[in-house]
A and B are shown apart, each in its own frame.
Chain A
Amino acid sequence: GAVVSQHPSWVICKSGTSVKIECRSLDFQATTMFWYRQFPKQSLMLMATSNEGSKATYEQGVEKDKFLINHASLTLSTLTVTSAHPEDSSFYICSVSRGSYNEQFFGPGTRLTVL
């Protein structure tokens, strides 16, 4: 498989502030990473595909100016939630794709709470 870490594991912030979430591929150079969000008792919702060295591809309905994604290296992608509001409170999870079957390996997730 692939080992993926996320930092921080949880964060509480005030409304209007920005929060940066890091996703690292620890044992694999990932040209592509994916960002998902998950609300309680719901499935994963793909937010964007992060490509190393180029702009991220956002899913319909996801504000690219609000959710800034930077894939600076083959092992690191960051998601910055800008001017966070309480409705942005959610569980954010990243994944990397590895293997001939497009298996995806997920990080442990980051729980964001916006007060």
Chain B
Amino acid sequence: QKEVEQDPGPLSVPEGAIVSLNCTYSNSAFQYFMWYRQYSRKGPELLMYTYSSGNKEDGRFTAQVDKSSKYISLFIRDSQPSDSATYLCAMSRTSGNTPLVFGKGTRLSVIA
């Protein structure tokens, strides 16, 4: 079993839809969770980061962490064509200078 599982998609939604992206993980030691957005041929861009369980909201984005289920989610409200990208979840055990473990990424297309 891989440490982090993420459905690669592709996921196609109409403009304005609510998008739900998810990752599951197997290692209960993960405490720090991040979501990145990557456009084609670009480096990943940090969208959200959270610690332990709970919700965090930033504009149209909401990140949720359920450590009891080892499940994290990213919700995008009022999706826009500019949200079309690959979304990667990432996590780590510690808070400083350690490599992240990434999911495979989910390709999202928002159709106008």
Interface residue from B45, B96, B104 paired with A43 (Cβ < 8 Å)? B104
A104 to B88, CA, bound (A): 13
B-contact 0/1 string along A88-115, CB 8 Å cutoff: 0001010101011111111111010000
Across-interface contacts of A1 in B (CB, < 8 A): 46
Given contacts A91-B41, A101-B49, contact A43 B105 (CB under 8 A): yes
Q: Name 7 A/B residue pairs within 8 A (Cβ), A-sorted.
A: A44-B88, A93-B43, A97-B98, A101-B32, A101-B51, A105-B46, A106-B43
Distance to closest chain B CB from A6 (angstroms): 8
Q: What is the number of residues of chain A that contact chain B, defined by CB distance less than 8 Å?
A: 28
Of A43, A49, A97, A100, most B-chain CB atoms within 10 Å: A43
Interface residue from A49, A106, A108 paired with B99 (Cβ < 8 Å)? A49
A111 to B34, CA, bound (A): 25
Distance to closest chain B CB from A90 (angstroms): 12
